[in-house]
Structure 1
Amino acid sequence: MKLPQRLLVLVALLLTLSSCSEALSENRGPEAPDFALPDLNGTVHHLSDYRGEKVYLFFWASWCSICLSGLNELEELAESDNDFTILTIISPGTYAERNANEFNAWFSGIDHHGDFIVLLDDGGDVFGQFKMEAYPSSAWISSAGRITKQRTGHISNDEILELMNSIR
């Protein structure tokens, strides 16, 4: 083989290997800690129940103005046809959040469609297990149950979708 042909084959091989490693790295993040949290109706959700599905976790608080300003956007995302599940988590009685009964009364009184699941992380254990530090915070979980990305702050639906579409 001539040198330019060898170089071309080497470049093609490197590009193939790098794209394979990117696909593999999607599932190489840390395993997401499993949890068992009740929703506002008392139904318990385990993260492991969603194994095989991609999950977007959104940690928020009722006193967080940034969180509240993004709820309508989150509802729009929940109402659209997506290939992932949205789970939102609040920590009643912790981090200045209302207790569970007060939160439920408050949440039922605000203007929302209720198209996303709100889980109650009493004591904030799951918030801590995911090493979250502020509200709002997000975690993207692959269908293999791996944390592929975590981020603090408001995230637009376009950014959420872009990240969800990049993982398996």
Structure 2
Amino acid sequence: MDKFRLANQLDFATSGAVVVTLNKTADRETSALFQFRLTKKLYIAVGDGWVDEDELMKARLITEPIAAVEGEFRMEISDKGQPSSTIAVPVINTYCGGDVKCTVFVLRLLTGRRHQLRYVNHPTPEKELLEEAAHIALNYTRVQTDTGTPSSSAPPQSSEHVNKKAKH
């Protein structure tokens, strides 16, 4: 068996899915899908508070311009920023950390700006609630290519591995 290969890469200080291939042929074909932008990546995010019930499962387009904060790595919404576009779908209103209301979103980036996922017009929960929110959001993930073949991961058996990562 060939060595494992990474078909895509993440930028510095970026989280996301890393696709691993098992042989040279799969690596070449999968890498080409990423190179020619034939993949569709969906992200799962958790926002603080609930959206109105009639807004659930309705896609919204967010088009705030994003700019780097001078002298810092972080970004901000600014008229001087570059255009960014994100499709955000609030999927479910739930609870994080007992009685704290939160909403799970599915996001699709149409542009690739640093920290773009943070600007969905909905704040993120307090840091200590993100561990539980991560477990809720990781129930199912999917990457699909334009070939129509989805690649899915089953729900985790427990959130233990998520909890360890969230603490670091």
Task: Please give the TM-score of this superposition, normalised by the length of structure 1.
Answer: 0.22
Higher helix share: 1
State the structure with more CA Rg.
Answer: 1
Higher strand share: 2
Task: Please give the TM-score of this superposition, normalised by the length of structure 2.
Answer: 0.22
